[in-house]
């Protein structure tokens, strides 16, 4: 399903499928952006749910290395949010509307939410692997 950059088994590099990483990361970024004005507890729930779905969808989109692609989606989601936030900060500095908070809550809350979103993305990737793995198909018959 699409091009992969290398093969972990053959030692050719990291097997990430860009489309899977992109879709999963985009879902996570949507959760980060949509929750920007919410209270910390609501923002945590929205972000974690978005990365759970993003990790699952990145796993569905690839044939192999689903957890690795979910990890890539998590990294891409936070990097994309950083890029969006930088643009919004520049707009705010130029006299536009106020930029949203980059990090959800205080420093420790932000770290917990980031860790929770990482765990959620990996769980989503593992759920996709369990559901769509050829090993699971062989077990059913």
Question: Could you give phi then psi for residue 50, rounded to 5 degrees?
Answer: -65, -40
What are the structural domain ranges in the chain?
18-140
Residues in contact with 128: Cβ distance below 8 Å, sequence separation at least 6, in sequence order: 55, 56, 57, 58, 59, 60, 66, 70
Is residue 59 helix, strand or coil?
helix
Q: Is the predicted pLDDT of residue 72 greater than 90, yes or no? A: yes
Mean pLDDT over 53-76 rounds to 92
Residue 1 is predicted with a pLDDT of 47
- Check: pTM over 0.85? Answer yes or no: no
Residue 121 is predicted with a pLDDT of 96
CA nearest 81: which of 112, 49, 127, 50?
50
Mean pLDDT over 87-105 rounds to 81
Mean pLDDT over 6-28 rounds to 76
Cα separation, 60 vs 32, in Å, equals 22
Q: Is the predicted pLDDT of residue 71 greater than 50, yes or no? A: yes
């Amino acid at each position: 399903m699409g091009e992969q950059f290398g093969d972990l088994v053959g030692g050719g590099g990291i097997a990430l499928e860009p489309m899977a990483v992109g879709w999963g990361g985009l879902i996570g970024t949507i959760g980060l952006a949509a929750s920007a004005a919410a209270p910390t507890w609501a923002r945590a729930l929205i972000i974690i749910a978005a990365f759970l779905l993003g990790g699952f969808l990145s796993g569905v989109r690839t044939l192999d290395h689903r957890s690795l692609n979910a990890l890539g989606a998590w990294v891409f989601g936070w990097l994309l949010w950083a890029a969006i936030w930088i643009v919004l900060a520049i707009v705010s500095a130029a006299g536009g509307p106020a930029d949203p908070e980059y990090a959800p809550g205080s420093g420790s809350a932000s770290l917990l939410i980031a860790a929770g979103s990482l765990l959620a993305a990996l769980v989503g990737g593992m759920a996709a692997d369990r559901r769509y793995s050829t090993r699971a198909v062989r077990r059913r018959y």
